[in-house]
């Protein structure tokens, strides 16, 4: 029997709408008892002083990129999962951008087998099956075969923009009866052109080729119109502009089955930061202008944009140590997102703990048509323990990855995940 008792820990569970201090007893992977005080725990129970610490449901990342299989020199699956656990994530959606891509049942089964060979504790990896062959946006995959493969999926996604309107319409028609989440990235590549920063006065001042807001909103409007016509529920990923937040708010007023997410980097930073020309700030979509950042923050807090995604994208030192315009877009973040967001929004008093945790737990679970972990008696333990006072520095060892492509490297943080429980911990 494995037994752990947390003494006087602060429980914050957005799904149960609770924020309270209590003793929590966990036995053999389930919550055995929760009360103001608990006496006489089972023999050989591990007792942890939870004073000043926070117990919350395990975090859920809607989408990130795995370098294995295909690019293990960047990061292995074991590294990715270690980083996820270090950051408090118990479920991670994996985009189909591996090599080979996750576009057949065989490729997905191989990926899942690789993940299961890792040590515990580990998060549950939920692969997104590719919408198009090779994620190239040209030919549809065998959606029905993928849906019937008996492999737990996050749903269908491409991880890349789909530029052909006719193909996009057909994908939504075919996906509708399969009852799987569909995630689309609203991005018109023709309008992106050779741009590398969000269009505006800051990009102009920095001499960076601009990407117009319309590159996102034109594609978003097309998706909305197709959802209006076909009725297939869609999750819109990687939103990055104030105008997109306005369009999503209007769409929801019309009761269309659409959810949305932005990435943690788009909440933390803006085009102003891009003027440092740090290649680790080369992202796609690019960081927004300050007004975009403010709108995304407000949209998350209000629930208009439901979820915060990590969009973890590892690259080697050599790949990222180039000029800004030559750098591949993406940054790592699984070990960093939650403590960094906590320091920026909760420790500052701008958000409550619940306002940060909801878009990282209950809301992404809803987007995936799943239930988040709940801190309730009888439920499986899927949770994290967070110490808001713990101080640490972001280094290679603490991000748990050989990939170092983050603009926060060597920075000091206060707040750290100290323990994670998943169903792979026992």
Catalytic residues: 311
Q: What is the DSSP string of 71-109?
A: -TTT--HHHHHHHHHHTTEEEEEE-S-SSS-S-SHHHHH
Residue whose C-alpha is closest to residue 258's, from 269, 247, 271: 247
Name residue, tokens 């601009």. 210
Question: Residue 378, SS3?
Answer: coil
- The sign of the dihedral angle between the CA atoms of 85, 55, 363, 343 is negative
Question: Residue 77, SS3?
Answer: helix
Name residue, tokens 């590159």. 215
* DSSP 8-state secondary structure symbol assigned to residue 285: S
Task: At 3, give phi and psi (nearest 5°).
Answer: -135, 130
Angle at alpha carbon of residue 162, lines to 157 and 164, rounded to 5°: 140
Task: At 71, give phi and psi (nearest 5°).
Answer: -135, 50
* Angle between helical axes of 165-175 and 214-230 (0-180°, round to 10): 40
Residue whose C-alpha is closest to residue 224's, from 167, 286, 179, 172: 172
Q: What is the DSSP string of 347-363?
A: TTTSS-HHHHHGGGTHH
The answer for residues whose C-beta is within 8 angstroms of residue 348's C-beta and 6 or more apart is none
Gap between the Cα atoms of 47 and 8, Å rounded: 11
Gap between the Cα atoms of 288 and 200, Å rounded: 10
| C-alpha distances in Å from residue 315, one per residue of 72, 196, 221, 269 | 10, 18, 32, 20
The whole-angstrom distance between residue 262's C-alpha and the CA centroid of its chain comes to 9
């Amino acid at each position: 029997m494995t037994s752990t008792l947390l003494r006087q820990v602060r429980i914050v569970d957005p799904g149960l709408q609770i924020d309270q201090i209590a003793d929590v007893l966990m036995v053999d992977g389930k919550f055995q008892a929760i009360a103001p005080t608990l006496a006489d725990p089972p023999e050989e129970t591990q007792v942890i002083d939870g004073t000043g610490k926070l117990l919350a449901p395990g975090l859920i990342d809607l989408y990130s990129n795995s370098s294995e299989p295909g690019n293990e020199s960047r990061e292995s699956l074991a590294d990715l999962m270690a980083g996820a656990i270090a950051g408090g994530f118990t479920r991670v959606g994996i985009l189909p951008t591996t090599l080979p891509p996750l576009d057949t049942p065989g490729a997905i089964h191989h990926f899942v087998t690789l993940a299961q060979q890792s040590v515990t504790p580990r998060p549950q990896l939920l692969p997104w099956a590719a919408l198009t062959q090779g994620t190239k946006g040209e030919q549809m995959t065998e959606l029905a075969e993928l849906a019937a493969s008996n492999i737990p999926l996050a749903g269908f996604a491409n991880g890349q923009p789909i530029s052909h309107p006719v193909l996009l319409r057909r994908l939504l028609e075919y996906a509708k009866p399969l009852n799987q989440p569909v995630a689309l990235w609203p991005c018109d590549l023709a309008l992106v052109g050779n741009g590398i920063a969000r269009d505006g006065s800051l990009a102009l001042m920095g001499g960076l080729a601009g990407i117009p807001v319309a590159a996102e909103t034109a594609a978003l409007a097309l998706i909305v119109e197709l959802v209006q016509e076909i009725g297939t529920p869609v999750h819109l990923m990687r939103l990055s502009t104030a105008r997109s937040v306005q369009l999503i708010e209007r769409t929801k007023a019309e009761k269309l089955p659409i959810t949305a997410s932005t990435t943690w980097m788009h909440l933390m930073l803006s085009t102003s930061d891009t003027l440092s020309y740090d290649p680790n700030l080369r992202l796609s979509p690019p960081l927004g202008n300050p007004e975009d950042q403010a709108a995304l923050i407000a949209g998350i807090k209000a629930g208009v944009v439901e979820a915060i995604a990590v969009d973890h994208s590892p690259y080697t030192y050599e790949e990222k140590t180039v000029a800004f315009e030559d750098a591949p877009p993406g940054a790592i973040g699984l070990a960093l997102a939650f403590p960094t967001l906590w320091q920026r929004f909760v420790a500052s008093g701008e958000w409550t703990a619940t306002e940060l945790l909801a878009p990282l737990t209950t809301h992404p679970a809803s987007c995936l048509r799943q239930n988040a972990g709940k801190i309730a008696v009888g439920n499986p333990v899927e949770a994290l323990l967070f110490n808001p006072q713990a101080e640490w520095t972001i280094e290679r060892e603490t991000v748990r990855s050989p990939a170092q492509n983050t603009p926060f490297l060597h920075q000091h943080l206060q707040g750290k995940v100290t323990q994670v429980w998943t169903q792979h911990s026992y």
